[in-house]
Amino acid sequence: MKYTFSQAKQKLAPHAGAYGALDLNNAINVAMEELSKSEVWNQQTQLVTLTSVNEYFAIPQEYNLILRAAVNNVPVSLHRTDYEFLHSGPGNLDAVPAGYAPLNGIQALGTTFPTMYAPTGGMTLVAFSTEDPDGVLLVRGKDTNGDFISAEVPINSWTGPTDIDTQDVDEVTATTQTFYEITSVVMPQDSTAYITIYGIADDAFNFLSRMHPSIRVPEFTRYRLPGFSSDDDASYEILCEVERRFIPIVDDDDVVPFDSLFPVQYMMKSFQYFDSNEIDAGTKYHTLAMQMLQKREAHDDQFQGLVVENPLYALSPGHMSNEDFYNC
């Protein structure tokens, strides 16, 4: 069975005190983050469907990577930016010869972007939240000359529904600086609700990012659809198998993602030993935590039918077999 964060704290508090953990919330979150990165935790993946109306798109903060994808119902391959530099590869994906499909899979651009989307041209910045934290939202970036600038972005309260269409550009408080690039974002230390950043250009709001309150330095993964259609109303539906990114648990009603607290308990003890420089004992409990997690996962990890280990199997026609997918 799974537990709420409140239940988990009640059950783990006696052990945390014995281990010397001063901050119970932090100790539990650190232990769960380590467990969530284990290859044996099968619940770290999830299927999501995205709709992209732009060549560039990002995945929400609670997801780390796209593992597999299908665009408009056709399986595609994923490439990093170095794919364009392979001697046997396609070269510049923006200069594909006539007769070839320029929409060549999905290109992974990186996992450490400070916002979901970059400003297009110069934009002043404005933020919205359902609560008003005492701290500041600090954004650093570059101006039109490429000089580094920073600003405390005003956090406006949503008036009515959390829908940007209900907001008036002339009535919100924005930065006086104009950002052409954003290099880092630091969330307010006391924030307890999601904060959304918009850029303002030509008297219109442009969505840039939505950030979790307990992650002070946000990071996002961005992707690109090379050869995106030039039609004004073009859009692509992307079915993704994504890897979850661990998000620290804050509210007592949040659900702990593990159905047993023993792996969390042993991982907490492992870090306590590591902190006291008892490496052997820390390694022992770290291994024990992983073994306990793997044991429970093996019990639940039962499949009916075929299990696809690698979708890029030999002789697969892949997305190249679908003429409707080409955008020449």
Domain boundaries along the sequence of the chain? 5-37+249-298, 44-114+221-245, 124-218
d(CA 211, CA 220): 9
Q: How many helices (H) and strands (E) does the chain have?
A: 4, 15
CB under 8 Å to 76, separation ≥6 — which residues? 69, 70, 105, 106, 318, 319
Mean pLDDT for back-to-back runs of 10 residues, the chain (328 residues): 90 72 81 84 82 88 90 87 80 61 75 92 93 89 95 84 79 93 93 90 93 90 83 86 85 86 92 91 93 75 57 48 38
Note the pLDDT of residue 42. Answer: 67
Task: Give tens-digit pLDDT for 188-200.
Answer: 988 888 899 999 9
Note the pLDDT of residue 248. Answer: 84
Note the pLDDT of residue 20. Answer: 52
- Measure Cα distances from 304 to 250, 281, 294 in Å: 36, 40, 20
One-letter amino acid at 311 equals P
Note the pLDDT of residue 103. Answer: 59
Note the pLDDT of residue 244. Answer: 84
Note the pLDDT of residue 24. Answer: 87
CB atoms within 10 A of CB 255: 13
- Extract the runs of DSSP E, i.e. beta strands, from 227-272: 236-244
Rg (CA), the chain: 23
Note the pLDDT of residue 321. Answer: 39
Note the pLDDT of residue 328. Answer: 34
Note the pLDDT of residue 161. Answer: 61
Q: Beta 106-113 vs 78-80: how paired, if at all?
A: parallel
Note the pLDDT of residue 310. Answer: 55
pTM: 0.75
Helix H or strand E segment including 64: strand 63-71
d(CA 40, CA 202): 50
